[in-house]
Structure 1
């Protein structure tokens, strides 16, 4: 039996096959291939609309002429626009701060409960986050309703005057922020609870042996171990809160006198209800630099701590 001579082509193909096999065995390559369908879906549903919104923001109202930054310059001259910027920042920052604080303390409360009872408490505390925001906001709207408000009924029975919850812009801002806190705090709670469970008990035992009290254990053990989770959760919640639409839309629709509008609701008012889609797109795009700056600072701090550790 005569052996077949090895050709130069076979010698060239063999290294290619082995290198391809090694490439397919790498975990990063397998992970990329498994997430490729999701990346494509995100590209179609998120990236393309984002670039299309940028294109729309450079057109005139009839969408027939390129105006460049004309829509943005027009917005900068409107007092209502700067009021919306101020309200959006107050709404997002205050809501995220209170959600983070409430979620942090509630997570510690649940973490201290014995393991058998934690499942029940986690389920109950997650209910506000699980219910669709529009549906739960309708219940809050009934509580704040000027004619049938359950809160005003309680206040009157206690001898206080009724409050125009949604009629006064100060109280309306308070109501919008309160509902957002009620809806978003469980998300912080479940994220912080997962972070607390990942903190080694040996660290607490060592701190207790060194004579640290509960505050020192919280400050020197718990917070350093949770800082990355806190930063990422705050960044994610800040993005979602800035883009919030349904709570403001259902409760106040931006009123009274546009005092509770945020970027999403005012963009909807101008673009969909007002018929000026390019101007509405310009309003929505103004969130990008604000959120971009916040994300850069937060992620830079996370990467810095990661490199130090």
Structure 2
């Protein structure tokens, strides 16, 4: 009887949705608190201190670090570069991701091989892929320059990473190349979920490809397009690997972004306080991007 009562109690406990919800959410909450909340709290604390790599003692300095950061022209250049870098990258990530998703859902021979090759750029470690691009865009031994010279497009080396505008364009191109497969996979799920009856009915009614695209495909997949844009914005705002490996923010800080400048000031330069202040400016930008995209998704769902 006692064993039966214990078994029955366990069954009742397992059927309680509130209890199960907390059990399954606990690992996620612990993970977020340990890797997000605690570092974020430390960044706020360091932003109001004089902590450096040489002197880890904590002394309150108020807004002095903020004043020093605001007086730094490289910070404002990094902020502007971050907005440009993110805006242009997100546009091309969404557009190319949509095009690639349409290709991946098409029925053709060898599509699984194509899908595997497309995902390689995303699954490859960012350091390894960035180093590969560093070699491809080398100022002297660039294979890209060699191909363009053979085709007659250029006569001398282009110096992709040595000129400000070309360096920023190169960084954006490499970043877009990395994230387009992720966006394509997310959008591909939306395309596969569209009932085939809708497209067939539209074809019978005489709707062409572009009309079906803008009146059926895009409206039905817009929430997933917004999700891919959100992931693209998060990865772009917080990414410093591509910039750091390709240009180190150069030439003359023309490709410096907030993430890379925060790292160079806080870790490379040893000024933990200023690095924390610069890093904190990523939070409102990420929050604004997330709120705008999620509100757009909610608006579409209520239509």
**1:246-257 to 2 correspondences below 5 Å:** 246-257=241-252
**1:195-234 to 2 correspondences below 5 Å:** 195-234=190-229
1:96 to 67, 90, 97: 90
Report the equivalent of 1:56. 46
Shift >6 Å, 4+ stretches? 20-23
- Bigger CA drift: 37-46 or 216-225? 37-46
Residues 146 and 164 in structure 1, CA contact (< 8 A), matched pair in contact too: yes
- CA offset digits 1:64-89 (Å, max 9, x no partner): 32123332232222221111011111
Q: Distance in 2 between matches of 1:206 and 1:23?
A: 49
Q: Secondary structure at the match of 2:110?
A: helix
- CA offset digits 1:160-215 (Å, max 9, x no partner): 23211111111110110011011111001111111100111111122222221111
Q: Distance in 2 between matches of 1:147 and 1:118?
A: 37
- CA offset digits 1:48-106 (Å, max 9, x no partner): 11111111111124553212333223222222111101111111111111111111011
Q: Secondary structure at the match of 2:117?
A: helix
Report the equivalent of 1:14. none
The unaligned stretches of length 5 or more in structure 1 are 1-16
**1:110-125 to 2 correspondences below 5 Å:** 110-114=104-108, 117-125=110-118
Report the equivalent of 1:78. 72
Report the equivalent of 1:133. 126
Report the equivalent of 1:11. none
Q: Secondary structure at the match of 1:126?
A: helix
Q: Distance in 1 between matches of 2:128 and 2:146?
A: 23
2:264 to 269, 279, 293: 269
- CA offset digits 1:112-151 (Å, max 9, x no partner): 124x633222111111001001101111111111121111
Report the equivalent of 1:10. none
Give the aligned length.
291
1:147 to 137, 140, 164: 140
Superposition TM-score, scaled by structure 1 size: 0.88
Q: Secondary structure at the match of 1:60?
A: coil
For the aligned residue pairs, the C-alpha RMSD in angstroms reads 2.1
